Amino acid sequence: MGPVVDSNEAIRCEYISTILHTAVSLLKDLLILPWIMQSKNHRRSIRRNNLH
């Protein structure tokens, strides 16, 4: 049963690889910032708005 398992594994890896490549190509222009940076910027904008 070794060759059948290897064949299934190869097909599964190719399937996952296709999905990942498609996702990356669709989202390549999307900018994702870490949550901590967004949180700090949000606090700064709240402080500025409260001062005016």
* pLDDT surpasses 80 at 32: no
Give Cα separations from 37 to 8, 22, 32, 42, 47 (angstroms): 43, 28, 10, 8, 16
Of residues 46 and 35, the one with the higher pLDDT is 35
Determine the pLDDT at residue 38: 55
pLDDT at position 10: 83
Is residue 50 pLDDT above 80, yes or no? Answer: no
Question: For residue 20, is pLDDT > 80?
Answer: yes
**Is the model's pLDDT at 6 over the cut of 80?**
no
